């Protein structure tokens, strides 16, 4: 499947207006980037927390493929990922070099 995916990360609890904003971003991708060969653009909204009923009402009249989930922060990096992620010092050095 070839499609665009719009991911938005919010540092707050889900609010109904977040769904409208994500719908706007999906529409912009559909109008500006997507081609006839692409499948429908998918929107993923990650929030600090969500209320299932509020989410259902917020998405009830939006007809684009969109999902909303919550995330949980952790300071522990899984062992299997440690070798593939840069160290904090490497990221800081790269940002300082470009800045």
List, as one string, the DSSP characters of the chain.
----EEEEE-SS---HHHHHHHHHHHHHHHHHT--TTSPPPEEEEEES---HHHHHHHHTT--S-EEEEE----SPPPHHHHTTS--HHHHHHHHHHH-
- 56 is a domain residue: yes
Please state whether the predicted TM-score (pTM) of the whole model is above 0.85. no
Structural domain of residue 36, as residue ranges? Answer: 5-72
Is residue 64 a part of any domain in this protein?
yes
In a domain, 99, yes or no: no
Report the chain's mean pLDDT, rounded to a whole number: 90
Q: Is residue 55 part of a domain?
A: yes
**13 Cα distance to chain centroid:** 14
In this prediction, residue 93 carries a pLDDT of 87
Task: State which residues of the chain have pLDDT below 70.
Answer: 98-99
85 domain residue, yes or no: no
């Amino acid at each position: 499947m070839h499609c665009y995916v719009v991911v938005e990360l919010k540092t707050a609890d889900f609010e109904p207006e977040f769904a409208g904003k994500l719908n706007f971003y999906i529409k912009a991708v559909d109008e500006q980037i997507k081609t006839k060969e692409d499948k429908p653009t998918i929107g993923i909204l990650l929030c600090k927390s969500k209320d299932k009923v509020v989410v259902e009402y917020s998405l009830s009249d939006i007809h684009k493929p969109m999902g909303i989930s919550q995330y949980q922060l952790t300071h522990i990096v899984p062992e299997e990922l440690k070798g593939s992620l840069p160290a904090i010092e490497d990221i800081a050095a790269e940002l300082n070099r470009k800045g």
